[in-house]
Structure 1
Amino acid sequence: MPTLLLVDGSSYLYRAFHALPDLRTAAGEPTGAIRGVLSMLRVLEADYKSDYRAVVFDAKGKTFRDDWYPEYKAHRPSMPEDLAAQVEPLHECIRAAGWPLLMVTGVEADDVIGTLSTQAAAAGIDCVISTGDKDLAQLVNQHVTLVNTMSNETLDRAGVINKFGVPPERIVDYLALVGDTSDGVPGVSKVGPKTAVKWLDTWGSLDAIVAHASEIGGAVGENLRKHLDFLPLGVKLVTVVCDLPLPQTVTELTPQAPDQDKLAELYARLEFKGWLRELGGEAPPPAPRTKAAVPPAPTSEPTAHVEPDRSGYQCILDATQLDDWLARLDTATLVSLDTETTGLDPMQAQLVGISFAIAADDRVDAAYLPLGHSYAGAPTQLPFAETLARLKPWLESAQRPKLGQHLKYDRHIFANHGVQLRGIVEDTLLQSYVLESDKPHDLGSLAARHCALKTISYDDVTGKGTNRISFSQVEVARAAEYAAEDADVTLRVHRVLRPQLAAEPQLESLYRDLELPVAEVLFRIERNGVLIDAATLVQQSDELGRKIMALEAEAQQLAGQPFNLNSPKQLAEILFNQLGLPVVKKTPSGGPSTDEEVLEKLAEDYPLPKKILEHRSLAKLKNTYTDKLPKMINPATGRVHTSFGQATAVTGRLASTDPNLQNIPIRTPEGRRIRSAFVAPENHRIVSADYSQIELRIMAHLSDDPRLLEAFAQGEDVHRATAGEIFGVTPIEVSSEQRRAAKVINFGLIYGMSAFGLARQIGVDRSAAAAYMDRYFARYPGVARYMEETRAIARDKGYVETVFGRRLWLPEIKSSNAGRRQGAERAAINAPMQGTAADLIKRAMLAVQDWLDAQKLRTLMVLQVHDELVLEVPDEELTIVDAALPKLMGGVAKLKVPLLVEVGVGANWDAAH
């Protein structure tokens, strides 16, 4: 069977730090934990040949367990400074070695590991978990094994029983009784491992122990009875969650070829000389540091990192210095600009300081202007309002060229103070995104990758976690080093990336004519926000809460007894043992499964599974949307202001965050009702303009298939036309089931669906599904030809392109691993369609905004969701906007098929669909 290897990175990090001596480089940089973890990974890689693998670390910040129990891990000491300094370089080493690395915000590494191991077992993939954490013993079953490289211990089911005295399925009960002091989870006082095992041997489970609590004598029995109210929470706290939504599936966790150049660079910096020799390299001497020298564009990946020379940075604290810099800014041909702020919310953060950098001959001059540092003993700073007023003409001048890293954010900060930043001509975030969409685009990564520079991080100056301070509390001298360096390094990165873009006319056009202008439109959309009817959401939450309670009561009535609807164990007992429903599939441990797929199958014939599914669906809607969205309304505007990530998805699609308004569910009536809370103000309407079947139209354009082109040209129902071709009937004779099957095939092919997947989707056997796909390709040979030619182009170039020249890199396209190679081939087929769709909606945004400005209309663009634009339109402008949108959006590109745009109007977003 294929194997998934999961490494509990957080566990190994601490253990390596405490187990190994205090190893350091000649410059004093600590390296012991890095060396220890990498050594363990090398052992694992040699001992366990895996098809899929990942190293999983805890992400920063709180998790859901902190919300359940504020004392959870509250008494753990902060991470030692020498350990914290090793985390980021360790992550770099792991990624460079070809290991996928996962950190999921809001959850613990254990839960990520639990979810992945459960997914793997369900897919017939064995899982090896490398950890020293006893909590993960609860995951062990016939498909999941624990290994500990530090103690050379392997735990299968028998091993768990031998070590703990209880089987894996009783580990949660065991931990709830004995507690977990490291996590701050109290157990039953005086109940140690021996007592817990004795009780579980006697009564079989924690539930049974609770039922017999009155029979247990002595002080320990009394302690148990005092602890009964906490036990349910204790069980929740020690239970590993195994059904999280994760950013990657198991089969996407494919190891990649090590980046030899990057590893050599890291090993040289960390002075791992033996490993460096294995790569055929030697530690280079430290690079010479000249005063603020601007490095030339590297011809290859840099081999060593040095810090920028910060000795020439200036901190502007008096009027004379400000006068000098204002004069320089006014005559500079390009100025690198950055802001420091009180927070990360672009709509509410306040300005703390501004940094500038200017190229001067062979050097870069940089300065920091502090304006809002408020700690005790802070030096006197120039007056905020007066100084900003002096800078305002330069900041607002479109004739004064400005450069920055992610300047959309800085635009918001200045706008919060009544300043409209203009003259943005370059943005290194977008330059990097267009050139290398598959790589990190943060300034630290860009500086390291392109300029061989090691920069000060935000954490370095503000601290981390609960110890983090506001930037306004950072010492001015330290802030000046950090902020001036940001402006300086941004200019240096620009000097490297600018010639690379200039050498690629298509990419230059994509950057200059699309991404830079789109950043302007996104700024305006984010600033506009969308009006939310909080009362509607509160009412929906209340209604959902009552429905959830009613469904719970109905489910318990159908079961004939009370039970916890969220307990797979209790649910399995009722469904299969008491009601005698058929077992659809089994869990990795051999018990009957109650996952969503099973419940959907059973719900076709039995009422209780259907109620359970309804209950789960409504609970998710309530917790994720109706409860949370009202809390995210900006008190100053009464609106929700999402942020659109422009350099996130490799395909060019935008990503909505804080809150994510692109994933509101619309498949159920309750889900669609959430959109009804996105409303238009009085005397306005919401207008939705959506590209119809855009990716299928792009497929027709790219494949040049005559039948597909004709179907779209004639305005036919393309799914009905496909069904007619596949099933050999006239379009009018196509049944609803045949059309549904054709729709699944049309969309499934875009995403690389197999015959097996199609069979499951439309409820036929695999041979029938394969026959349908064969007929499809026989009727649409252009599609088959496009797929084969695209695979060949990807193999030859290492990337594919959208219609407009956006490059989508495929590093696994030549992999010797068949699974990884086939995944890259599927991506090669899909990416040009997704990427072209992303380019089209961006062009549409520009066309619509330009038209609104030219017409001097008051209509606002308030959202962009996938292939849809959402606008807020005054009643008196409704007729002209409604008529113009299809022409504007349909005319942004000339493809071989028409671009059809469907427009809807309503008092709210839901009604506009």
Structure 2
Amino acid sequence: MPLLVCRHNLAMSQANSTLVLVDGSSYLYRAYHAMPDLRAVPGDPSSPATGAIRGMINMLQALQKEHPAEYVACVFDASGPTFRDALYPEYKAHRSPMPEDLRAQIAPIHEVVRLMGWTVLDVPGVEADDVIGTLATVAAAQGVRVIISSGDKDLSQLVDERITIMDTMSGKVRDVQGVMAEFGVPPCLMVDYQTLVGDAVDNVPGVDKVGPKTAAKWLNEYGSLDALLAHADAIKGVAGENLRKARDWLPLGRQLVTIRTDCDLHEHVPGLPALDALARRMPQPEALRAFYERYGFKTLARALAEQMGADAVAPDAAPPAQAGAADRQPPAPEVTRRYETVCDWPTFDAWLQRLQAAPCVALDTETTSIDEMQAEIVGISWAVEPGVAAYVPLAHDYPGALAQLPRDEVLARLRPWLEDASRPKLGQHIKYDRHVFANHGIEVRGYAHDTMLQSYVLEVHKPHSLDSLAQRHLGRQGISYEDLCGKGAHQIPFAQVAIDKAAEYACEDSDLTLAVHQVLWPRLQADDRLRRIYELEVACSEVLYRIERHGVLIDADVLSRQSHELGQRILQLEQEAYAIAGQPFNLNSPKQLGEIFFDKLGLPVVKKTATGARSTDEEVLEKLAEDYPLPAKILEHRSLTKLKGTYTDKLAAMAHPRTGRVHTHYAQAVAVTGRLSSNDPNLQNIPIRTPEGRRIREAFIAAPGHVLASADYSQIELRIMAHLSEDEALLRAFAEGLDVHRATAAEVFGLAPEQVSSEQRRYAKVINFGLIYGMSSYGLAKALGIDNTAAKNYIERYFQRFAGVRRYMDDTKAQAKARGYVETVFGRRLYLPEINSPNGPRRAAAERAAINAPMQGTAADLIKMSMVAVQQALDAQGKGTKMIMQVHDELVFEVPEAEVDWVRTEVPKLMAEVAKLKVSLLAEVGVGENWERAH
């Protein structure tokens, strides 16, 4: 009976003869824009900004783990001019100045990077790219493997057999083959390529109208820029003419884009060409810990303290709403980890007795697939107390694998305990494990807790994976799946993982789940409102499991006919577009669209891209479509192509081979508002504003002897607004059963309700819903097709007549700024990290979210409460009706014909009675042979 003890620290091996060079300037900008507005004192905008610092630490830690190396350096741009500024005074002239709150973080970033063991370089008068180019070339010449971590494509000219560029943010690798695949030329021609194309970011012109494809074509044909210029007189067309015009400029352009590889760095990197000055140094844990505490990084400080063997870290005294209670948990006490692999019946029977006696068991499965409807069990793990866990391998299959207990017999012996609702169980994402057990004919009962949902309720704005939770709340770094199975094409199935390693990983997962639960559950118990939201989420998980399990029937013939019809219409639209343009062209090519729109047809340029090109994005097409036929054709073509590719071509193929139904996956812990998201397939994004989109729902059908019923809330968010704002006019409109949009129009336009025209009602509807989503006067003007002044007047009149709505919005924003979060009617917290951001657009977006989130979140709470209430009624009365979809504020049922009257009567009543608001809730039910007819 092997006993496995979990590793406390994983020693990181170092690869000899590898130099990692980090483009620090690229990193810090990415960190700044990727991270929220973190502050050393959370919630205090006068406190130093720390988002870029934290992002930099995160990225370097990830890079160190992914690419351990003997030599490391982080290279930043130094302030002041370089030789390129002397060559070309307009160099980088259009770049915006660095934001002040980012500039203030540069010195601390340099400090922490050094403390982490990296050499930091910022060489006066030399750009970071040139420092990187010089060091990479020197190292490669000595046979050292070089990895440059950057997202900057300009560095591609450095790539060779020893120098590789890795973009850790996107996962893109630019080796010799990668550069060729991306740009169409080998690295040795990248300088010539960049000279032709130019660099809009650095304000370096190329050849006018010559883009990447033309540049690559020319260089592949002529072999170099010099050879191309020698034959410039033979190049025809506008491109050839522009090339000849640029002859005098191109030598200077080439100097500007060429990365230098011969900079004098001896003062900054003593001993070159030897790399000893860049050797990785040991981190400075005491100084790092002090740094982390100084800048409010409590989780990092706690994890470091545990690694150092510290007994504890002083808890953060900041208020919970601003500092985040998750970052103030003391480190979990060290426990002796006793992990056991169960490969014989006496050991199994002993563990089964422990399971039956345990007050609550953390349960986890290891499987063959992430598709919960297809996954089969490879092994099962559980933890019964901190540090005490076991793994039962059941289907590991590789040469020399230990003999394992038979899976069917193990599951048969576990079945009574698994299906006993009186035996409490917990897990991380329990819905997945329920499906996995159900694939083997076991309906698990007694799931009392889900750590993923605990995190989702307590800290919706943070990641909810077990790895994240363990690091955040326990200061523990678990073994990752990639550590065990590898990545990408080289990843092996879990069944081929060695049993001893699989056992350590699986036991650790159950152990961490139990430990995280012991941290999070007391916090939920201490807050009645949050605890009730969590209990709602757990109950909703049960309902969602049943919805996913049952699935929805799809009519493949209907989809096939629709797909054919859409295909015919798409071809027709292409021909119509060609006729308007006077020539065939690629409807999906922005470059060709721009040439036809603006050069051939003379359409007005609405806006330009960041690089100065004339934009043909969706917004531009919609604007131009108001006056010109070709953009309208393009928009319709794109819409139908997407509809065909996403739904009519694919839905039928997504039906499960065993059930013949489509089984969507509802992600419960994704949207910060509490709304569910649907994927594989996404049933919530089926467009309903066009006839073609609505027809997709005709393919969702009922089984023989059944019909589909659709139940949804009427004007739910406006009713919630009335409740939250307590606005007298809105409350009166709902209380009297008025058409709320007509009533709004009557107030805004000063008319009697019966005098309101259909156009005025439409305006009022846009205003009602627009203000809920924080729409500005500009947005309203665009939505209604009116000028800004008229839109502004409408909004002012609206707030004059609905003063309670204005008061609610102002009060909500003030509360959000003070607390850092807003709440739904039922207590769900919706955090707004950017609400006090000094960045104007980010702050404005957070203010809009502060107004909208309580309404969206309350609507999400209500539909979840309805799901639970209706399912409980169905179970209690033994009905055959099945809930098969949840889409926004709508529930869809597959109903036996004999139960239609019950559904029509009882379901809207149940939905209306799940909560008592200051206005009554109203739900309506439609019935039909398919989903579309049920509306």
> What's the offset of the Cα at 1:663?
0.6
User: CA 1:689/1:561 → structure 2, altered by over 3 Å: closer, same or farther?
Assistant: same
Please name the residue that 2:17 is paired with: none
Alignment of 1:815-854 (within 5 A): 815-854=837-876
Q: 1:175 aligns with which of 216, 224, 228?
A: 216
Contact 1:339–1:354 (CA under 8 A) maintained in structure 2 = yes
Q: 2:341 aligns with which of 306, 315, 323?
A: 315
Q: 1:727 aligns with which of 729, 749, 761?
A: 749
Aligned counterparts of 2:639 and 2:388: Cα–Cα separation in 1: 57
Equivalent position SS for 1:313:
strand
Is 2:914 the partner of 1:864? no
Equivalent position SS for 2:701:
coil
> What's the offset of the Cα at 1:814?
2.3
> What's the offset of the Cα at 1:198?
6.0
* Residues 646-705 of structure 1: per-residue CA shift (max 9 Å, x gap): 111111111112221111111111111111111111221111111111111100000000
User: CA 1:598/1:433 → structure 2, altered by over 3 Å: closer, same or farther?
Assistant: closer
Is 2:730 the partner of 1:683? no
User: CA 1:741/1:29 → structure 2, altered by over 3 Å: closer, same or farther?
Assistant: closer
Please name the residue that 2:551 is paired with: 529
Alignment of 1:465-864 (within 5 A): 465-512=488-535, 514-587=536-609, 592-864=614-886
Please name the residue that 2:475 is paired with: 452
Alignment of 1:143-158 (within 5 A): 145-146=200-201, 155-158=202-205
User: CA 1:657/1:280 → structure 2, altered by over 3 Å: closer, same or farther?
Assistant: closer
Contact 1:307–1:455 (CA under 8 A) maintained in structure 2 = no
Aligned counterparts of 1:433 and 1:381: Cα–Cα separation in 2: 37
Look up the equivalent residue of 2:620 and give its one-letter code.
V
> What's the offset of the Cα at 1:168?
7.3
Aligned counterparts of 1:86 and 1:330: Cα–Cα separation in 2: 54
* Residues 534-585 of structure 1: per-residue CA shift (max 9 Å, x gap): 2222222222112111111122122222222222333333334433444444
Look up the equivalent residue of 2:505 and give its one-letter code.
Y
Please name the residue that 2:98 is paired with: 48
> What's the offset of the Cα at 1:773?
0.6
Equivalent position SS for 2:709:
strand
Please name the residue that 1:325 is paired with: 351
> What's the offset of the Cα at 1:485?
0.4
Alignment of 1:368-447 (within 5 A): 368-447=391-470
Aligned counterparts of 2:587 and 2:650: Cα–Cα separation in 1: 23
Aligned counterparts of 1:429 and 1:396: Cα–Cα separation in 2: 22
Equivalent position SS for 2:700:
coil
Please name the residue that 1:461 is paired with: 484
User: CA 1:593/1:797 → structure 2, altered by over 3 Å: closer, same or farther?
Assistant: closer
Question: 5+ residue gaps in structure 2?
Answer: 1-25, 32-59, 81-91, 104-143, 152-166, 175-188, 242-279, 295-300, 312-319
Look up the equivalent residue of 2:215 and give its one-letter code.
Y
User: CA 1:50/1:510 → structure 2, altered by over 3 Å: closer, same or farther?
Assistant: same
Equivalent position SS for 2:857:
helix
Look up the equivalent residue of 1:805 and give its one-letter code.
G
Contact 1:138–1:170 (CA under 8 A) maintained in structure 2 = no
Please name the residue that 1:341 is paired with: 367
Equivalent position SS for 1:676:
helix
Look up the equivalent residue of 1:353 and give its one-letter code.
G
Contact 2:327–2:472 (CA under 8 A) maintained in structure 1 = yes
Is 2:384 the partner of 1:358? yes
Contact 2:701–2:931 (CA under 8 A) maintained in structure 1 = yes
Equivalent position SS for 2:346:
helix
* Residues 391-448 of structure 1: per-residue CA shift (max 9 Å, x gap): 1111111111111111110000000000111111111111111111111111111111
User: CA 1:270/1:665 → structure 2, altered by over 3 Å: closer, same or farther?
Assistant: farther
Q: How many corresponding residue pairs?
A: 744
Look up the equivalent residue of 2:204 and give its one-letter code.
R
TM-score, normalised with respect to structure 1:
0.74
Contact 1:551–1:615 (CA under 8 A) maintained in structure 2 = yes
Structure of larger gyration radius = 2
Aligned counterparts of 1:838 and 1:825: Cα–Cα separation in 2: 20
Aligned counterparts of 1:372 and 1:690: Cα–Cα separation in 2: 45
Equivalent position SS for 2:500:
helix
Greater Cα shift, 574-583 or 621-630: 574-583
Aligned counterparts of 1:6 and 1:805: Cα–Cα separation in 2: 37
> What's the offset of the Cα at 1:531?
0.8
User: CA 1:439/1:85 → structure 2, altered by over 3 Å: closer, same or farther?
Assistant: farther
Look up the equivalent residue of 1:829 and give its one-letter code.
I
> What's the offset of the Cα at 1:604?
3.4
* Residues 738-787 of structure 1: per-residue CA shift (max 9 Å, x gap): 22221111111111111111111112221111111110000000001111
Greater Cα shift, 28-37 or 347-356: 28-37
Identity of aligned residues (%): 55
Aligned counterparts of 1:341 and 1:563: Cα–Cα separation in 2: 49
Equivalent position SS for 2:364:
strand
Equivalent position SS for 1:785:
helix
Equivalent position SS for 2:699:
coil
Look up the equivalent residue of 2:398 and give its one-letter code.
Y
Aligned counterparts of 1:536 and 1:456: Cα–Cα separation in 2: 48
Aligned counterparts of 1:717 and 1:138: Cα–Cα separation in 2: 64
Look up the equivalent residue of 1:156 and give its one-letter code.
N
Aligned counterparts of 1:581 and 1:556: Cα–Cα separation in 2: 16
User: CA 1:157/1:169 → structure 2, altered by over 3 Å: closer, same or farther?
Assistant: farther
Please name the residue that 1:879 is paired with: 901
Contact 2:196–2:215 (CA under 8 A) maintained in structure 1 = no
* Residues 31-86 of structure 1: per-residue CA shift (max 9 Å, x gap): 66997569679999997328999xxxxxxxxxxxxxxxxxxxxxxxxxx9998999
* Residues 124-150 of structure 1: per-residue CA shift (max 9 Å, x gap): xxxxxxxx9989969999xx843xxxx
Aligned counterparts of 1:198 and 1:305: Cα–Cα separation in 2: 70
> What's the offset of the Cα at 1:598?
3.3
User: CA 1:565/1:201 → structure 2, altered by over 3 Å: closer, same or farther?
Assistant: farther
Contact 2:730–2:802 (CA under 8 A) maintained in structure 1 = yes
Aligned counterparts of 1:602 and 1:47: Cα–Cα separation in 2: 34
Contact 2:423–2:446 (CA under 8 A) maintained in structure 1 = yes
Look up the equivalent residue of 1:627 and give its one-letter code.
D
Equivalent position SS for 1:157:
coil
Is 2:899 the partner of 1:899? no
